[in-house]
Amino acid sequence: QRAAVNLSQKIQNRFAKSAGRGNIVEDKSSIGKTSRWFHVAGLWEPEIPVNSPNLIATVVLAAMILAALVVYLPQPTKKDLRVGVRDDELKIEGGNVVDTEPIDLAFEGLTLELETKSGEVRTILDGVRGRAQPGRMLAVMGPSGAGKSTLIHALVGRVKDNTKLSLYGRRYINGEPVSGDSLLPAAFIEQDVNFFPHMTVRETLHFRVELKLGSLLSKHARDKMVDGLMDQLGLTKAADTVVGDAKVRGISGGERKRLSIAVEMISSPSVIVLDEPTSGLDSTAATSLVQTLRDLADSGKTVIAVIHQPSQHVFAKFDDLLLVSEGKLMYYGELHGVRSYMESYGHPATAEMGTAEHILDCISRLPIEEETKDEMNSRMERLIYKANSNPLDLGKMATDDNGTTEFTMVSRGGPKAGIITQFRTLFKRSFREVIRGKTTLILKTVQQISLGVIYGGIYSLGTNQASIQDRFGLLSLIAIGSANMAVASTIRSFPREKAIVSNEIASKMYRTLPYFIGKALSELPLVAVFNGIFGTIVYHLTGLSRMKGKFRRFLGLLTTHGLASEAVGLVIGAVSPSSDVALAIFPAVLVLNIIFDGKNISEENTPRLLRWIPKIGLIRWGFEGLCVNEFDQLTFDTKGPRRGPVAKFGSEALDRFGLGTNTLGDIVKAQLSITVVSWALSYIGLTLTGQKYLKMQSFKSDSD
Ligand SMILES: Nc1ncnc2c1ncn2[C@@H]1O[C@H](COP(=O)(O)OP(=O)(O)OP(=O)(O)O)[C@@H](O)[C@H]1O
């Protein structure tokens, strides 16, 4: 008995010490107003001499200002355009975008080298040349891995920046050389274009038209343009169907391809470059899509498309052909001449064999019929030699300076739409996505209700001493559970959205800031609703305190906690290149947050270097807020079952974990600070991780 009394005394002493510790740092009156704010946000620690948290705040603010300056200050125009080719300044006449000037695109010496892990250099493209002209369609064909996709990315200036890659070559537009860092003003349609799945075809086009042409067109003219584009690309039937994705049933594969062309056609670009537009389509859909491209070419556009195993119908719609194999040019010329060309080099096709199939056989390093290995190699060498030595007119203009002066294509200015239109349009899109994801909405509702019922079925809080432990346990689980859910759902969806958004920002449709504000605000109502559902059930079933105002404050605190958690999810998503990376980072972030949630490790025993973590801890502030709200003014029976020392008042119970030194106001401010700083970090992350492209250096031989 004596030992038990001693132990109890020891524990009480320890708690008393812990309660005292809660007051050690707390002479807030001596801290100025601003410092107090930092203190609340966990960014100020008066008694730590090296003020690292404060340093973090300063660095974050400085980085934000720098990022804002980089993004918002007018970018200098590199060099004026010397020829009639325009940048992305659009001209509008009679409510329509005036067709941009036809573009004749020629290229030579396109070479891409990759430094492999062993230090060797692998040549992915090897001096490819060719020409694409207005009113004509150029097909790029070759075996798998030949370099077709790389070639068209290089042509438009979109080979992703990578220190292991070196890109060489020269491009000419209407005979004049363009600089290596020029992004061609071309519609570039990748193989898989991502769209927001819950928007209809019409809404997707409206969104783009509004942001791309902004105030240049009236509402009526914008509607007319959207109808015109749908008509031109055969999308009228699907106008009011949602676009969909792998999970959401939407328009067909062919219609998706058409939509990706339609969104690029808004600014009526002169060049249309497509990476395998027919892949995944049946032969009727493929033929009909290529006919649409044919119509565009006939209207004066320059069309370049990588095609894979085309049917004879599809193949015959092209005018010119560029064949590559192992990164080397195998043929460039008119399409109708290729069969006889191969025949003239000793590779006749049987009558029943399709031309496309035959030429792929001719340019693949695989034996044709009885061919020996040497014969196969000599066939390849002969074709490579001929393709590269045949004279080719690139339409180069004679210039005084031997064509060495390049002109740079730059996109002048920022988005066409004003900042308010950008914000309004982006908010509308985000909100629509949030509320139209019916399956997600239903699942989340069921999830919140069942969680509330589970907690309600387990916990039954009274006012005895044991209920103190139950209260702490329940509130801790609520804080952990709702943070986990909010962060996880944000990082699952955001990286995919980021891919779309980064492209849209890169094409100067809008700025990062209005996107962020629109996204954050659009999610707020749903955070409040779901927390409301869960909070109402759990609050009433478990028997949390019914004192006046506490339930309302409980819901408010859950909402600010949810908001802060979503913001943290956004940072993880913004700095991660993919969902997989984000999901890999997430457990570590969550575990750290749980460890330092305020009750799992005491402040005294926290390694000194890690003491800043609880100050910015998501769960710590959520847990503390819920506890302060619940225990405030609560009294407990001093008899009956108990865990640890007796606490008559709620404040004594709070003291056990060193809680209760911050007011609810302080806690909400801390949660809002976490939210704002997380938004700022995500904004910086998104701005700094924007896509960069490799600059094309002049010919390989020049630089060797
Ligand atoms: N950034 C890169 N890093 C490493 N290898 C690359 C890179 N870009 C291209 N390659 C390699 O270059 C080769 C050509 O790739 P590319 O995608 O251009 O081929 P493709 O002809 O379009 O093939 P497919 O028809 O199968 O799509 C491939 O072997 C690819 O792995």
Residue 605: count other Cβ atoms within 10 Å of its Cβ: 6
Average pLDDT value for residue range 369-394? 86
Is the confidence at residue 576, as pLDDT, over 60?
yes
Q: Which of 73-82, 489-498, 560-569, 661-670 is predicted least confidently?
A: 73-82
In short, whether 114's Cβ falls inside 6 Å of ligand 1 is yes
Instruction: Note the pTM of the prediction, 2 decimals.
Output: 0.72
Is the confidence at residue 167, as pLDDT, over 90?
yes
Look at residue 9 in the predicted model and tell me its pLDDT. Answer: 52
Sign of CA dihedral 439, 445, 450, 451: positive
**Do the beta carbons of residue 675 and residue 666 sit within 8 Å?**
no
Is the confidence at residue 480, as pLDDT, over 50?
yes
Report how far residue 371's alpha carbon sits from residue 50's, in angstroms, rounded to the nearest whole number. Answer: 76
Residue 442: count other Cβ atoms within 10 Å of its Cβ: 10
Q: Which atom of ligand 1 is nearest to the CA of 306?
A: 22
Nearest CA to ligand 1 atom 23: 145
**Single-letter code of the amino acid located at 106:** A
pLDDT digits 0-9 by tens, 148-162: 999 999 999 889 888
Average pLDDT value for residue range 406-430? 74
Is the confidence at residue 335, as pLDDT, over 90?
yes
Report how far residue 645's alpha carbon sits from residue 639's, in angstroms, rounded to the nearest whole number. Answer: 11
Look at residue 206 in the predicted model and tell me its pLDDT. Answer: 92
Average pLDDT value for residue range 378-396? 87
Q: Which of 42-51, 304-313, 345-354, 477-486 is predicted least confidently?
A: 42-51
Q: Which of 3-7, 206-210, 591-595, 616-620 is predicted least confidently?
A: 3-7
Is the confidence at residue 92, as pLDDT, over 80?
no
**Do the beta carbons of residue 81 and residue 146 sit within 8 Å?**
no
Nearest CA to ligand 1 atom 17: 149
Look at residue 84 in the predicted model and tell me its pLDDT. Answer: 34
Look at residue 453 in the predicted model and tell me its pLDDT. Answer: 94
Q: Which atom of ligand 1 is nearest to the CA of 160?
A: 1
Report how far residue 640's alpha carbon sits from residue 646's, in angstroms, rounded to the nearest whole number. Answer: 10
In short, whether 149's Cβ falls inside 6 Å of ligand 1 is yes
In short, whether 150's Cβ falls inside 6 Å of ligand 1 is yes
Q: Compute the radius of gyration of the chain from its Cα atoms.
A: 32
Q: Which residues contact 87 (CB under 8 A, 6 or more apart)?
A: 81, 185, 409, 410, 411, 412
- Cα of 290 vs its chain's centroid, Å: 30
Sign of CA dihedral 534, 537, 539, 541: negative
In short, whether 279's Cβ falls inside 6 Å of ligand 1 is no
**Do the beta carbons of residue 559 and residue 534 sit within 8 Å?**
no
Per-residue confidence at 553, pLDDT binned at 50, 70, 90? very high
Is the confidence at residue 190, as pLDDT, over 50?
yes
Is the confidence at residue 1, as pLDDT, over 50?
no
Give per-residue burial for 35-65: e unless 16+ CB within 10 Å, then b: ebbbbbbbbbbeeeeeeebbeebeeeeebbe
pLDDT digits 0-9 by tens, 60-77: 566 666 655 554 444 433
Report how far residue 674's alpha carbon sits from residue 102's, in angstroms, rounded to the nearest whole number. Answer: 52
Q: How far is the CA of 451 from the centre of ligand 1 (A)?
A: 48
Nearest CA to ligand 1 atom 12: 124
Is the confidence at residue 229, as pLDDT, over 60?
yes
Of 509, 432, 452, which is closest to residue 208 (Cα–Cα)?
509
Of 624, 692, 633, which is closest to residue 663 (Cα–Cα)?
624
Look at residue 113 in the predicted model and tell me its pLDDT. Answer: 94
Q: Is 349 exposed, middle or buried (0-12, 13-18, 19+ CB in 10 A)?
A: middle
User: What Å distances lie between residue 679 and 292, 511, 521, 560, CA to CA?
Assistant: 43, 15, 11, 14
In short, whether 581's Cβ falls inside 6 Å of ligand 1 is no
In short, whether 124's Cβ falls inside 6 Å of ligand 1 is yes
DSSP string, 529-574: HHHHHHHHHHHHHHT----TTHHHHHHHHHHHHHHHHHHHHHHHHH
- Provide, rounded to the nearest whole percent, the portion of the chain with pLDDT above 90: 29
**Single-letter code of the amino acid located at 399:** T
In short, whether 163's Cβ falls inside 6 Å of ligand 1 is no
**Do the beta carbons of residue 521 and residue 424 sit within 8 Å?**
no
Average pLDDT value for residue range 248-257? 88
**Do the beta carbons of residue 109 and residue 169 sit within 8 Å?**
yes
How high is the mean pLDDT of the chain?
Answer: 80
Look at residue 97 in the predicted model and tell me its pLDDT. Answer: 56
Q: Which atom of ligand 1 is nearest to the CA of 124?
A: 12
pLDDT digits 0-9 by tens, 497-539: 887 888 788 777 888 888 888 887 888 888 889 889 999 999 9
Q: Which atom of ligand 1 is nearest to the CA of 324?
A: 21
Of all residues in the chain, what percent are helix, strand and coil, respectively (each to 5)?
A: 55, 10, 35
Q: Which of 144, 149, 278, 693 has most ligand 1 atoms within 8 Å of CB, for mutation?
A: 149
